[in-house]
Amino acid sequence: MSILVVGSIALDSVATPFGKAEEALGGSAVHFSASASFFSKIHLVGVVGDDFPEKEIEFLKVRGVDCSGIKIEKGKTFRWKGEYGFDLNVAQTIETHLNVFSDFAPQIPGALREKEFLFLANIHPKLQLDVLQQVKRPKLVALDTMNFWIQGELEALKKVISKVDLMIINEGEARELTKEASLLKAARLIQSWGPAVVVIKRGEYGALLLHKNDIFSAPGLPLESVKDPTGAGDSFAGGFMGYLARKNSLDLETMKQAVIVGSAMASFNVEDFSCRRLKNLTMAEINQRINEFKKLSHFEWKHSDNF
Ligand code: AMP
C-alpha cells in the first residue's frame, strides 16, 4: 500500500549542544517521507520557494519517493530555527517563517486522491482540513501537529482531530492540547474527540500507544550519541505508518510492531543533523535495531518467580 503525505518542506537552522546546521533540509513531510520510504511507496505533496536548492531532495527521489506533488512557488521556502539545551526532548522555537506556506492551497493531484493511507504531517490545520476534503476516504488518516498550531489555531485543529482515525502527538503537546497532566487522561480525552488510536511520543523515553481500550508502551533506546532530535517525531511517524501500509493491517499487534519500527527510525534520525543519518541507512541496520528494542524490554517471569 502507498501513503500520501502532506506537510512542511523546510530549510532548518538548528543548534544543539553537540553542533549546528544552517539552512539544512527539514520539514515534517521530508523527515516523514525519508523514514517511511524504507517500508512503503510514498507520495509527497508540499510547497517550496524558488530559492529551494533542488538537489536537497534528490536523496528522497533516490529512495523512490514520488516528489511530483511538490510545488515550486515564487518566494521563499518555509524556514524554522530551533535550539535545544542538554534536555534534547524540548525544542525551543526561535523563529518560524511560513513564507510560501502563508498562501499555500494544497492541490492533491487526481491520481493521488485515492491512496489508502494519508498522513497529515505538521502543517497549518486549515491546510490539513483542505486536504481531507479533496481525498476519497482513505483506509487510515493519521495526524500530527505542534504547539505552534495548538496555541494559534486551536479551533481548526480540533476540527481536524475530529475527522481522523489516528493522532500522533508528543507528550508536551498532548498536555498542552488537553490541559491534562496525566498522559493517559490526555490520550483518552483526544480519543473522545474522534481518533480511536492515539500515539504519544515521549522523546528519549519511548512511546505510548492507545488502541481503543488497549495500551502498549515502547521503551526509548538508550543511545550514547544524540546530535539533533529535530525530525525524530516525523521519522517515528514515518516508520510507524510505513510499516502499517506495508503490512496493510491496522490490528493491535501490527500497531505494536509499528510503534517499535517508528522508534527504531527515530533513534537513527537523532544520530546526526537534518536527514543525514537516513541517507546511508541500510535495512540490515534497521533489523538489528529492532532486535535491540526487543531485547531491551523482554524479560522472563515464571510462575515460580511469583512471591
Ligand atoms: P519534529 O519531528 O517534531 O522534530 O519536527 C521537526 C520539523 O518540523 C522541522 O524539520 C521543522 O521544519 C518542522 N516545523 C517546525 N515548525 C513547524 C510549523 N509551524 N509547521 C510545520 N512544520 C514545522
Q: What is the pLDDT of residues 144-180, one digit of tens each?
A: 999 999 999 999 999 999 999 999 999 999 999 999 9
Average pLDDT, the chain: 96
Q: Which of 18, 290, 248, 40 is nearest to 139 (CA)?
A: 248
Contact between residue 121 and residue 7 where contact means Cβ atoms under 8 Å apart: yes
Cα 230 to middle of ligand 1, angstroms:
8
Q: Which of 155, 226, 236 is nearest to 193 (CA)?
A: 155
Q: Which atom of ligand 1 is nearest to the CA of 11?
A: 12
65 CB burial (10 A radius; 0-12, 13-18, 19+): buried
Alpha-carbon distance of 44 to 40, in angstroms, equals: 12
Is 228 near ligand 1, meaning CB less than 6 Å away?
no
Is 84 near ligand 1, meaning CB less than 6 Å away?
no
Cα 27 to middle of ligand 1, angstroms:
5
Go through the domains of the chain in sequence order and give each one's CATH number.
2-297 (3.40.1190.20)
* Helix ranges (DSSP H) in the chain: 28-36, 58-62, 125-134, 147-152, 154-161, 171-178, 183-193, 232-247, 252-269, 276-279, 283-297
Res 187: pLDDT: 98
Name the grid cell of 39.
517500508
- Does the pTM exceed 0.85? yes
Cα 110 to middle of ligand 1, angstroms:
27
Asked whether the predicted pLDDT for residue 91 surpasses 90, the reply is no
